[in-house]
Amino acid sequence: MGAVTPVGIGKEEYWQNLLKGTSGVKPLVFPTMDMDQYRTKIAASLDSFDPSAFFPTNKNTKYQGRTSQVAMAAAKLALEDGGFELAPGKKNTPIAGIDPDRIGVIMGTGSGNMDILEEGHGPFLEDRGPKRTSPHALPQQIISAVPANIAMQFQCRGISYAIPTACSSASQAIGNSFRHLKYDSWEDIVITGGADCCITPLIFGCFTAMRAMSTRNDDPKKASRPFDRGRDGFVMGEGAGIIVLEKLDHALKRNAPIYAEIVGFGMTLDAYHITIPNLGGEMFYRAIQMALKEGGLRPEEVDYINAHGTATRLNDPIETRAIKKAFGKRAYEIPISSTKSMIGHLIGAAGGVEAIASAMSINENRVHPTINYEDPDPECDLDYVPNEMREVSVRVAMSNSLGFGGFNSVVILKQYEK
């Protein structure tokens, strides 16, 4: 597992800061923009990320785009964490001893490398034409550039594609990778998860115009408040969460570390509204049902839920209703926490970093808190693990993701048992 997040780079630093309840939210400044134009002036940005710490940089590095760079870094961390040996070459780092034709890359991303497109658009308008437009802008901005850059870096020649289902992207990528390996695919390994760096002047401005983000600018660390009565919108984050999925026999053959196995996946569509979830949470509930059924699990077997938990007025009660419908009275007994309370909303990468948190909970029997939960909302009346980490026996964990367009994704992870 590899994480590049606002509270830590690498799964251990990321996980330890989640357990401590560390917030990565801070004031935001766009050097080229007047911040007074933005109602929201805070974000969970990756200020310390440097691609040269992971790969040799050259004249082409800047054209890859920030999302591709964090994705490649998280993929490298995941491969190293999985015990793979990387063989440095002049242009890439192939995975030693593994047939490259049997390694796939399925990545979730909401916006891809929008920074490249935005940077190219300015000169295009100023010069009234394409004379100074970079020829790199289009191929690197295309959503599929993110998995393509990972595949080129590590010489993965199996199945590869991108999934752009908004905030559900990474979870669907993980679910699709699981299904692909499950049904006797050619590949033995799929690098999957998500990456997104949406903190750009245009995208951030669009979310500001939608009034979807918190305006608690005077107290950034308290701004992301999932399930709290005082929540006023999500906080945007950026980063990547990537996991290496592997067929069991292949993993055992090379004595790989196994954090968990994925046993169930459910995905549905509300078909209701482009931004507003179905208020009854009906199709989200169906996605939970599907994942439980595929995993052969009863509702009482789920020990922990990593919630979508965006801290928006609509999402949190809708998610709460769906969980209650799926689990009945058991819903009140399951610890539920929102990773977004600390790292903000990583959009297309959210499901990746949250799957890592879920796997770590299974490994350590600890669940991280939902910070800033201070004033309970009567509509959100479940156990959200308020403000402090908790020791809990976790054999089965469920990770939820919802996205604009009405996409609902549920991934279920289970403790690996020999």
Q: Which residue(s) pair with 407 in the sheet?
A: 269, 403
**Residue 66 — left, alpha, or beta (φ > 0 → left; ψ -120 to 50 → alpha)?**
alpha
Over range 279-284, report the average pLDDT.
94
At residue 128, the pLDDT reads 64
Does residue 75 contact residue 349 with C-beta atoms inside 8 Å? no
At residue 135, the pLDDT reads 78
Q: Identify the CA nearest to 288 among candidates 277, 275, 302, 276.
A: 302
Higher-confidence residue of 377 and 126: namely 377
Of 167, 197, 198, 380, which residue is the catalytic one?
Answer: 167
pLDDT band at 136 (very low <50, low <70, confident <90, very high): confident
Structure tokens at 358: 């879920």
Residue 167 annotated to the active site: yes
CA 261 remoteness from chain centre: 18
Helix (H) or strand (E) run with residue 401 in it: strand 396-403
**Residue 258 — left, alpha, or beta (φ > 0 → left; ψ -120 to 50 → alpha)?**
beta
Q: Identify the CA nearest to 399 among candidates 199, 243, 212, 229.
A: 243
Residue bearing tokens 């009854």 = 280
Over range 189-203, report the average pLDDT.
97
Over range 374-380, report the average pLDDT.
97
- Positive/negative CA dihedral, 89, 349, 60, 138: positive
Taking the C-alpha atoms of residue 37 and residue 42, their distance in angstroms, rounded to an integer, is 13
Residue 345 annotated to the active site: yes
Of 156, 180, 198, 308, which residue is the catalytic one?
Answer: 308
**1-15, 68-82, 104-118: range with lowest mean pLDDT:** 104-118
At residue 14, the pLDDT reads 98
Taking the C-alpha atoms of residue 151 and residue 82, their distance in angstroms, rounded to an integer, is 17
Angle at 347 between CA 2 and CA 353, to 5 degrees: 25
**Helices 169-182 and 350-364 sit at what angle, rounded to 10 degrees?**
60
Q: Identify the CA nearest to 107 among candidates 152, 48, 45, 52.
A: 152
Paired sense of beta strands 304-306 and 407-414, if any: unpaired
Q: Which residue(s) pair with 412 in the sheet?
A: 264, 398
Does residue 107 contact residue 78 with C-beta atoms inside 8 Å? no
Of 180, 198, 345, 380, which residue is the catalytic one?
Answer: 345
Whether the per-residue pLDDT at 265 is higher than 70: the answer is yes
Helix (H) or strand (E) run with residue 80 in it: helix 66-81
- CA dist 251 to 224, 264, 288, Å? 38, 19, 28
Taking the C-alpha atoms of residue 51 and residue 72, their distance in angstroms, rounded to an integer, is 9
Contacts of 383 (CB under 8 A, 6+ apart): 332, 333, 334, 335, 336
Over range 226-245, report the average pLDDT.
98
pLDDT band at 97 (very low <50, low <70, confident <90, very high): very high
pLDDT in tens, 336-373: 999 999 999 999 999 999 999 999 999 999 999 999 99
Over range 126-147, report the average pLDDT.
81
Taking the C-alpha atoms of residue 177 and residue 187, their distance in angstroms, rounded to an integer, is 10
Average of per-residue pLDDT values in the chain? 95
pLDDT band at 34 (very low <50, low <70, confident <90, very high): very high
Residue 308 annotated to the active site: yes
Domains and CATH numbers, the chain: 2-253 (3.40.47.10), 261-414 (3.40.47.10)
pLDDT band at 35 (very low <50, low <70, confident <90, very high): very high
Over range 260-271, report the average pLDDT.
97
Q: Identify the CA nearest to 163 among candidates 401, 369, 356.
A: 401
Whether the per-residue pLDDT at 120 is higher than 80: the answer is no
